[in-house]
């Protein structure tokens, strides 16, 4: 089972193992909790998972650097994105996902992204071009993303 760090839990003590940041649609909690499905699918993998979806999030927080809880969340995500050895991004078709687009722009050149962006996402063309330009694996579904992620991560070996 992966070791999961959910925002805002500090991860200074995370083992030096392959790690995954679950980037993608959250929509202030309105998007389906696809992160849970991915974590469950990694049940037999030795890895660390950074999950930005908090169990409780105040949707009314002012989106400002002067709002401590908001700034803590954004900083946690940026730190985890940088630390992760793989960024697995799922952009759900029924969401806008502006932060996901920002993260794609920030990390497309990092060589560690897997992106699933099904048909129907309103800016899929932009995602296609960015992925093509920077050699990012573009997948068609969450299932394909899970398969690609599982292929990248080592299977659990009993000790």
Q: pLDDT band for 157, please (50, 70, 90 cuts).
A: confident
Pick from 91, 145, 143: nearest CA to 122: 91
pLDDT at position 159: 64
pLDDT at 86 over 70: yes
Q: pLDDT band for 107, please (50, 70, 90 cuts).
A: very high
In which element (H, E) is residue 73 found? helix 68-83
> Would you give the DSSP letter of residue 156?
P
- Mean pLDDT of all residues in 59-70: 94
| Alpha carbon of residue 32 to chain centroid | 14
93: left (phi over 0), alpha (psi -120 to 50) or beta: alpha
Per-domain residue ranges of the chain? 3-57+65-152
What is the CATH architecture of 3-57+65-152?
3-Layer(aba) Sandwich (3.40)
- 3-22 pLDDT tens trace: 999 999 999 999 999 999 99
pLDDT at 135 over 80: yes
Q: pLDDT band for 27, please (50, 70, 90 cuts).
A: confident
Q: Which two tokens stand for residue 97?
A: 């996902």
């Amino acid at each position: 089972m992966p070791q999961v760090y959910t925002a805002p839990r500090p991860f200074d003590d995370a083992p030096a193992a392959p790690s995954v940041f679950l980037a993608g649609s959250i929509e202030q909690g309105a998007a389906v909790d696809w992160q849970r499905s991915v974590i469950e699918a990694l049940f037999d993998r030795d890895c660390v998972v950074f999950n930005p979806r908090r169990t409780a999030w105040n949707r009314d927080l002012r989106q400002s650097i002067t709002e401590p809880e908001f700034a803590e969340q954004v900083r946690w995500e940026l730190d985890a994105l940088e630390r992760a050895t793989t960024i697995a991004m799922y952009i759900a078709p029924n969401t806008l996902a502006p932060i996901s687009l920002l993260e794609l722009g920030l990390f497309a050149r990092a060589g560690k992204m897997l992106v699933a962006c099904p048909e129907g996402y309103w800016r899929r063309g932009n995602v296609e071009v960015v992925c093509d330009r920077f050699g990012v694996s573009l997948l068609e579904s969450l299932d394909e993303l899970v398969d690609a992620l599982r292929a990248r991560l080592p299977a659990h070996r009993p000790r």
